[in-house]
Structure formats: structure tokens, C-alpha cells
């Protein structure tokens, strides 16, 4: 054990060990999301789609370390945190207030949340948005949107003071990404062939594997959100097993009722929806209520997924349905069935405290409004300076070749080495070997 | 030309090689032209367009072969023009790399299910 850790007696080794693992689990969710999304797009856009998530691992982590963490978790005011922790000053081995884990680890755990949340928004704009512009968007979003909402509900902001409960991110992660995705789809607008041709997922196996890895990582996401191995963390961990299982069962039944066939992509979506639904409520509701929540969370998300493609709204990978709607369901559910005997914090309406439901509903009104408006403005302003989307010609060719100069499924046949010192471009000199 | 001299009409095979991203447009145009019997395959080819330069693990390569979609359509004589029309209409972007159409004579066509030949073999039942 390092001398510095020993010098901070309030750090709990058990909590810290679990949070180190949980941080790594949540980090893995971002490439898992990339895989999930990559399977849902056409083969000519698979790398671009995956790279939007991979890009978040880079740019969002940097933004979080430099300023985002401070804006979220420094004291500040009711709206946003201050700059005391900017550039990771004053973030060391001593335990973070309210936890028994090193402050540095607390910061890293929070980073993994911000990363995946920014990456989630990409689902609304895949197959057409310019990669460079999207990276800049993610930086702005993870400074101006995520930390603000995280501060408000977790970092001592106004929702936090009001008494809104959000265990693992129904507000800053799920509703924020869902409603930001809605705004992004409206600003960037539909793909050129949307509504004219069926634009189908190219690999359902990626989608299933991505969903499986997301579920696995979600045990760290929810199970780690109590920052330790106490009862709330255990409850959230187990509820992360129970709720998505119920969502999966209900989704399969809905599929069977609608079309007599249980679809693979539907099942993968159900896993995500169930994990999202239990995210805000994980450590606050009993296991049985978590199962009911999982079952109920399927309904609004399923309805939106059936309805949305009939509109002109090309919110391509249904972030609003899977994250916005299910996150909202979970946040409201806390207000109904939270149980002090399980969570030690608060009761919901059914257990005698109607006020809790009110605080939950306030968050449901405020957070989506901020996320939607903020994202709308960021993208509109960004669109004045940079092209938001590829040209029609490039969109037809595929974003992989256009934005990355690579193809996911190239055979390599007919490829000729270009002399290493030749300049890039179609008219470059090349050597035939 | 009404291909009615002699007992049987002439049958032609039309091969259209188009951009993969225009395949749906071509299918739609063919459908509108009442052309129903179509085979389609993914091919790689080179037709004089500029090569794409891609980079893999730092190695820069020129992709000589471009992905194309190849349509094969056997039609009786009076459908040759509409089919060519549809391929052009659906496949055209105006830029190098739009593809080619080849028309070749067919010696014989047989519908396996019924044994019908030539004109009958390439004419859908509902016509």
C-alpha cells in the first residue's frame, strides 16, 4: 500500500478496490456502445459510427480532466460547479467528501460516465455528420451540458438541494443524452435516403454482443454509484440483474404479439432499455419493484421505436426511446415506490411521501429542457462555423472512406502500395510493386 | 422493331454495372419500367475512375478496384430500351464511375419450373 494512501485513514480499502474495478467496467461500456451502434448502421458507415464512441474516449476524458469535473463536482452555485478542481488541482488521494474512496478515483469514475453519455448522442447523427465537427460538439457538450446537470443533481446543485433522487444518472446521463439526441437529429436533419429506402442494420450480431457488454459494464455503472460496497451499491447491483431481465421478457412478448416473431435487435434494445430504466432507481427501490420497473420501462420505449420511423425525424439509433424515455420512466418510478426500509434515504408516494414524486417530476421537466435547448444552440452555433454534415455524394459513398480513409470489410484485392513519401490525394504518385 | 419474324422473338441479356449506392434507385426505376426478372451481385471492378487512397496501420494504399453492383436482366426485344433507360436513369450521378451497360444476344432462355423457353421464359406470368 502506498504511503500516501496509508496517510489518508478515511479511505476504505474495500470500497476503493470495488471502485477501481467499477471504473474500468464503465469505461468498457463506451467501446461496447460503439459496437452496438456499429452493428445498427450500414456497412459503409461502420467505422465512422464506432469512431464516434472511440473519439469520446479521447476528447471527453481530456475535457473532463481539465474543466468538466470541476464544473460538475466543485461546490460552485446551484446551477454549476466552480473552478476549484480545474486542471485536477486539489484532487488527490484524500477521500472525496461523502465517500471513502480517493478523490482521484472519484474523478476517474465520473469521467467514464461523461464519456459514454457524450458518445450516446452520436446515435442521433450517424451516417451523415462530419467527424471533426462531431468531436468538437462532444467537447462542448461535455463541458456545457453534462457537468451542469451532474452538478445540479449530484454536486450540490438545486435539484440535489430540492431532494431529487437519481442513483446513477437518470438526469445527466439518460435524459440528457436522449433529449440532446432529439435536438441533434433536428439540427443535423435526416440522412438523404431516410424515408425513401430501408436503411437496415448491417450486423445484428454486433448489436447483441454490444448490448451484452453494455449490461456487463452496467454492473459497474449502477453498482458503483454508491461509491462503495455498502447496502445501496449491493441493491443497485442486483437490481441491474433483475430489471433488464424483465424488460427483455416483456419486449419479447411485445414482439411476439406484434409480429409473431421475437427479433434479435429488439432483444438487444430491451437489454439497454432495462439497464437505463433501473439506472436512476437502482439503489432506491426494492428488488421486486425493480422488476416491475424493468417490465414497465419496455412500454414507452417500445412505443416510441415503433412510432418514430414513421415520422420525418431521423433520430437514427433511437437514443430518445432507449435512453430519454426509459431514464424518465426510472426517475418518475423513484417518486412512486422508493422505500426507506431498503434505501435508508426516502420514501416514494406509495410509502407515504408524495413530495418525493414532486421532486422527481421537477427533474423530469427541467433536465430534458436544458439538454434539448443546450444541444440545439451548440449545434446551431457550430453549424455557422463548420459544416455539420457530409455532402450527398460523400454520404452515398459512405462515411468510412470519406472521413477515415478506411473500410471495415475491405478485401485488400486491387490495393497498390503508395510510395511512403508521396503526398496524400488521388493524384499522388504511386509505385506498383 | 417487332421481333415477330419467325416463330420466336429475340431475347437479350442486359448487364448493367452501377455504383452500389445507386442500386436501390436502379431497382426502383426497373420496377417502374415493368422489368421484373432481375439478378444482382456485388462485384469489384475498375473502369478508369480515379483511385481512392486509403491508409491502414500507416501503410498508404491506392484502391484500384471499386465496389460495384452488377445487374443481369434477360428481356425480350421490346424491353431492351426501357431497361437501358431505367439503368441510366437510376444509376447516373454524372461523375466518373457511374458504370456501364452491355447488351448481348441470348441463344436460349428456359424457365426451369415449366420448361418454357425464350420469350415465355423471360416474361412474368402476370403480364
SS3 for chain A is CCHHHHCCCCCCHHHHHHHHHHHHHHHHHHHHHHHHHHHHCCHHHHHHHHHHHHHHHHHHHHHHHHHHHHHHHCCCCCCCCCCCCHHHCCCCCCECCCCCCEHHHHHHHHHHHHHHHHHHHHHHCCCCECHHHHHHHHHHHHHHCHHHHHHHHCCCCHHHHHCCCCCCCHHHHHHHHHHHHHHHHHHHCCCCCECCECCCCCCHHHHHHHHHHHHHHHHHHHHCCCCCCCHHHHHHHHHHHHHHHHHHHHHHHHHHHHHCCCCHHHHHHHHHHHHHHHHHHCCCCCHHHHHHHHHHHHHHHHHHHHHHHHCCCCCCCCHHHHHHHHHHHHHHHHHHHCCHHHHCCCCCHHHCCHHHHHHHHHHHHHHHHHHHHHHHHHHHHHHHHCCCECCHHHHHHCHHHHHHCCCCCCCCCCEEECCCCCCCCCCCCCCCC
Portion 380-419 of A in contact with B at CB < 8 A = 393, 396-398, 401, 405-407, 410-411, 413-418
Q: Do A393 and B54 touch (CB under 8 A)?
A: no
B2 has pLDDT over 60: no
Cell of A268: 438487444
Residue B53 Cα, gap to closest chain A Cα (Å): 6
A/B interface, count of CB pairs below 8 Å: 62
Evaluate if residue A7 carries a pLDDT over 80: no
Mutation target to probe the A interface, by most A beta carbons within 10 A, among B57, B63, B90, B99 is B63
Cβ–Cβ < 8 Å for A25, A217: yes
Q: Are A200 and A42 in contact (CB under 8 A)?
A: yes
For the whole prediction, is pTM greater than 0.80? yes
Are B67 and B54 in contact by the 8 Å Cβ rule? The answer is: no
pLDDT of residue B81: 95
Answer whether A410 sits within 8 Å of B63, measured CB to CB: yes
Q: Do B55 and A406 touch (CB under 8 A)?
A: yes
Q: What angle do CA A129, A201, A255 make, to 5 degrees?
A: 125
Q: Identify the three-state secondary structure at position B97.
A: coil
Q: Which residue of A has its CA nearest to B57?
A: A406
In chain A, the percentage of residues whose pLDDT exceeds 90 is: 91
Q: How many angstroms separate the CA atoms of B102 and A97, rounded? A: 75
Percent of chain A with pLDDT over 70: 95
- Cross-sheet strand order for the sheet of B99-105: B39-45, B66-76, B11-18, B99-105
pLDDT tens digits along A36-88? 999 999 999 999 999 999 999 999 999 999 999 999 999 999 999 999 999 99
Pair A331, A360: CB distance under 8 Å: yes
A47 Cβ contact list (under 8 Å, min separation 6): A38, A399, A400, A404, A406, A407, A408
**pLDDT at residue A1 in the model:** 41
Three-state secondary-structure class, residue B81: helix
Nearest CA in chain A to B49: A426
How many angstroms away from the CA of B97 is the closest CA of chain A?
12
In sequence order, what are the residues at sequence separation of 6 or more whose Cβ sits closer than 8 angstroms to the Cβ of residue A257?
Answer: none
* pLDDT band of B47, cuts 50, 70, 90: confident
User: What pLDDT shows up at residue A386?
Assistant: 97
Give the residue-averaged pLDDT of A252-260: 96
Backbone torsions φ then ψ of B55, nearest 5 degrees: -130, 125
Confidence category of residue A412, pLDDT binned at 50, 70, 90: confident
Q: Which of B49, B57, B62 is nearest to B98 (CA)?
A: B49
**Average pLDDT across chain A, whole number:** 94
Picking from A291, A255, A315, the residue whose alpha carbon sits closest to that of residue A123 is: A315
Of residues B22, B24, B64, nearest to A416 (C-beta): B64
What average pLDDT does this structure show over B87-109?
93
Distance from CA of A87 to the nearest CA of B (A): 33
Residues of B in contact with A414 (CB under 8 A): 44, 46, 63-65
Mean pLDDT of A394-419: 89
Residue-wise pLDDT for A345-401, tens only, equals: 999 999 999 999 999 999 999 999 999 999 999 999 999 999 999 999 999 999 999
Indicate yes or no: CB of B59 within 8 angstroms of CB of A417. Answer: yes
pLDDT at residue B85, as a whole number: 95
Q: In angstroms, what separates the C-alpha of B63 from chain A's closest C-alpha?
A: 4
Is any Cβ of chain A less than 8 angstroms from the Cβ of B53?
A: yes
* B44 near A CB under 8 A: yes
Range name among A1-15, A199-213, A314-328, A369-383 with the lowest pLDDT average? A1-15
Chain A residues within 8 A of B51 when measuring between CB atoms: 416, 426
Instruction: Answer yes or no: are the C-beta atoms of A396 and B21 closer than 8 Å.
Output: yes
Question: CB distance from A422 to chain B under 8 Å?
Answer: yes
Instruction: Give residue A418's pLDDT band: very low, low, confident or very high (50, 70, 90).
Output: confident
CA distance A371 to A113: 16
Mutate which: A397, A399, A404, vs B, most B CBs within 10 A: A397
Whether residue A420 is predicted with pLDDT greater than 80 in this model: the reply is no
Question: What ipTM goes with this model?
Answer: 0.80
* CB distance A414 to B64 below 8 Å: yes
Q: Which pLDDT belongs to residue A326?
A: 98
Instruction: Tell me what the pLDDT averaged over chain B comes to.
Output: 87
For residue B59, which residues of chain A lie inside 8 Å, CB to CB?
A: 417
User: Do B109 and B74 contact (CB within 8 A), yes or no?
Assistant: yes
Name the residue among A44, A398, A405 with its Cβ closest to that of B53.
A405
* Of A44, A197, A411, Cβ closest to residue B24: A197
Which residue from B19, B44, B61 is facing A417, i.e. has the nearest CB? B61
Cβ–Cβ < 8 Å for A272, A325: no
Q: What's the pLDDT score for residue B9? A: 64
Amino acid at each position: 500500500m502506498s504511503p500516501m494512501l496509508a496517510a489518508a485513514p478515511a479511505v476504505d480499502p474495500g470500497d476503493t478496490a470495488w471502485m477501481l474495478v467499477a471504473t474500468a467496467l464503465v469505461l468498457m461500456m463506451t467501446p461496447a456502445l460503439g459496437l452496438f451502434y456499429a452493428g445498427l448502421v450500414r456497412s459503409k458507415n461502420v467505422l465512422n459510427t464506432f469512431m464516434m464512441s472511440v473519439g469520446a474516449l479521447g476528447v471527453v476524458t481530456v475535457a473532463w480532466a481539465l474543466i468538466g469535473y470541476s464544473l460538475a463536482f466543485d461546490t460552485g452555485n446551484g446551477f454549476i460547479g466552480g473552478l476549484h478542481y480545474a486542471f485536477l488541482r486539489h484532487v488527490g488521494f484524500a477521500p472525496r467528501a461523502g465517500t471513502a474512496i480517493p478523490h482521484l478515483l472519484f474523478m476517474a469514475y465520473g469521467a467514464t460516465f461523461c464519456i459514454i453519455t457524450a458518445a450516446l448522442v452520436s446515435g442521433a447523427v450517424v451516417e451523415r455528420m462530419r467527424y471533426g465537427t462531431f468531436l468538437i460538439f462532444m467537447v462542448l457538450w461535455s463541458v456545457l451540458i453534462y457537468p451542469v446537470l451532474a452538478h445540479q443533481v449530484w454536486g450540490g446543485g438545486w435539484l440535489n438541494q430540492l431532494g431529487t433522487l437519481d442513483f446513477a444518472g437518470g438526469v445527466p446521463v439518460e435524459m440528457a443524452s436522449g433529449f440532446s439526441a432529439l435536438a441533434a437529429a433536428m439540427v443535423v436533419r435526416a440522412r438523404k435516403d431516410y424515408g425513401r429506402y430501408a436503411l437496415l442494420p448491417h450486423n445484428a450480431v454486433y448489436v447483441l454482443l454490444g448490448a451484452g457488454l453494455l449490461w456487463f459494464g452496467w454492473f459497474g455503472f449502477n453498482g458503483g454509484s454508491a461509491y462503495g460496497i455498502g447496502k445501496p451499491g449491493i441493491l443497485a447491483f442486483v437490481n441491474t440483474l433483475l430489471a433488464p431481465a424483465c424488460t427483455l421478457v416483456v419486449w419479447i412478448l411485445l414482439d411476439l404479439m406484434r409480429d409473431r416473431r421475437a427479433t434479435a435487435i429488439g432483444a438487444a434494445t430491451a437489454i439497454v432499455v432495462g439497464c437505463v430504466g433501473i439506472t436512476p432507481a437502482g439503489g432506491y427501490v426494492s428488488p421486486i419493484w425493480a422488476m416491475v420497473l424493468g417490465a414497465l420501462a419496455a412500454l414507452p420505449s417500445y412505443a416510441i421505436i415503433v412510432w418514430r420511423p414513421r415520422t420525418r425525424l431521423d433520430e437514427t439509433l433511437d437514443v430518445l426511446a432507449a435512453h430519454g424515455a426509459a431514464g424518465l420512466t426510472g426517475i418518475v418510478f423513484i417518486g412512486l415506490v422508493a422505500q426507506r426500509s431498503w434505501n435508508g434515504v426516502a420514501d416514494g408516494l406509495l410509502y407515504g411521501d408524495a413530495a418525493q414524486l414532486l421532486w422527481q417530476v421537477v427533474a423530469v421537466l427541467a433536465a430534458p429542457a436544458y439538454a434539448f435547448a443546450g444541444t440545439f444552440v451548440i449545434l446551431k452555433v457550430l453549424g455557422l462555423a463548420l459544416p455539420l454534415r457530409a455532402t450527398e455524394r460523400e454520404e452515398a459513398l459512405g462515411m468510412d472512406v470519406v472521413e477515415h480513409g478506411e473500410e471495415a470489410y475491405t478485401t485488400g484485392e486491387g490495393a497498390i502500395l503508395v510510395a511512403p513519401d508521396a503526398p496524400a490525394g488521388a493524384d499522388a504518385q504511386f509505385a506498383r510493386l | 422493331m417487332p421481333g415477330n419474324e419467325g416463330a420466336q422473338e429475340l431475347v437479350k441479356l442486359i448487364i448493367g454495372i452501377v455504383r452500389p449506392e445507386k442500386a436501390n434507385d436502379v431497382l426502383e426505376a426497373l420496377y417502374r419500367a415493368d422489368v421484373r426478372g432481375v439478378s444482382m451481385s456485388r462485384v469489384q471492378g475498375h473502369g478508369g475512375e480515379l483511385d481512392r487512397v486509403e491508409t491502414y496501420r500507416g501503410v498508404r494504399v491506392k484502391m484500384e478496384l471499386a465496389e460495384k453492383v452488377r445487374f443481369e436482366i434477360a428481356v425480350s426485344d421490346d424491353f431492351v430500351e426501357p431497361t437501358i433507360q431505367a439503368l441510366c436513369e437510376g444509376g447516373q450521378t454524372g461523375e466518373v464511375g457511374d458504370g456501364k451497360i452491355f447488351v448481348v444476344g441470348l441463344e436460349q432462355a428456359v424457365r426451369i419450373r415449366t420448361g418454357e423457353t425464350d420469350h415465355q421464359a423471360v416474361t412474368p406470368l402476370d403480364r
